[in-house]
Homo-oligomer: A and B are copies of this chain.
Amino acid sequence: MTEREMRMKTAEIEKITHLDYFNIAISVDCVIFGYDDKELKVLLIKSDFKEFEGLYSLLGDLVKPDEDIESASYRVLKERTGMDDVYLEQVQAFGSVDRHPSGRVITIAYYSLIDIKHHKLQLSHNELSWQPVNDIRKLAFDHKIILDTSLIRLQQQVMDYPVVFNLLPEKFSLRELQELYEAILGVELDRRNFRKKMSIKEWLVDIDEMESDVPHRPGKLYKLKPEFRKKSGRKKAAPIKQMSL
């Protein structure tokens, strides 16, 4: 690189920096929750940014000018998990001036609930990994705050609406369901009271099958009644033309 080229680069960056003073980029970040091994997990990726070397971050991308923000988060989900038709809900926007090292980027956080078993796909590829929510101490950017906020939101939702089923396979036992609630809420629940409450809510249908492969008395299996199967997803991701990266 000649000195002239070096100077050019500087000038170019100068111009960009200036431009960027008048412009704000907007991204979506997805807090993708899964449930496995009796723990609530979240899908993370090794950060690409030098500034955050060694840290993980949420999955996100810039919003394209011709794409709804909800579609953008569906796109990120689909690109990263291969899954479509998932539960997705906006949490809120995060927009501190200094939250992103390369400039002004306001991000809109979404949280998503997926059945981790349906995934298993492009994991070892990029540096994606499922990590237990409770073990996470630090993330790139302000992603730890986004995660914490999303978890609180999930905990609130879970108390009122039948959303946790998006984290489970279609058929599940009451024990699995209770353990999932316990993992999300971080509390222990009384089994009899839990079952009573579930039967009052009338969310479940007994499908007359039993667990198998358990080292103890098998429990009945249930499904969520179809009328409660709201993916909350009104819009699907637009077809992906090209994989980013």
Does residue A161 face the partner (Cβ distance < 8 Å to B)?
Answer: no
Number of interface residues of A (CB under 8 A): 46
Q: Which residues of B contact A158 (CB under 8 A)?
A: none
A97 with B66: CB separation less than 8 A: yes
Which of B25, B92, B95 interacts with A92 by CB under 8 Å?
Answer: B92
Whether A65 touches B104, Cβ cut-off 8 Å, given contacts A10-B50, A15-B16, A50-B8, is yes
Does residue A20 face the partner (Cβ distance < 8 Å to B)?
Answer: yes
Does residue A147 face the partner (Cβ distance < 8 Å to B)?
Answer: no
A49 with B8: CB separation less than 8 A: yes
Does residue A151 face the partner (Cβ distance < 8 Å to B)?
Answer: no
Q: Which of A37-45, A67-75, A112-120 contacts B (4 or more CB under 8 A)?
A: A67-75
Which of B7, B8, B50, B108 interacts with A95 by CB under 8 Å?
Answer: B108
List chain A positions with a Cβ less than 8 A from chain B: 7-16, 18-26, 48-51, 53, 62-70, 90-93, 95-97, 101-104, 106, 108
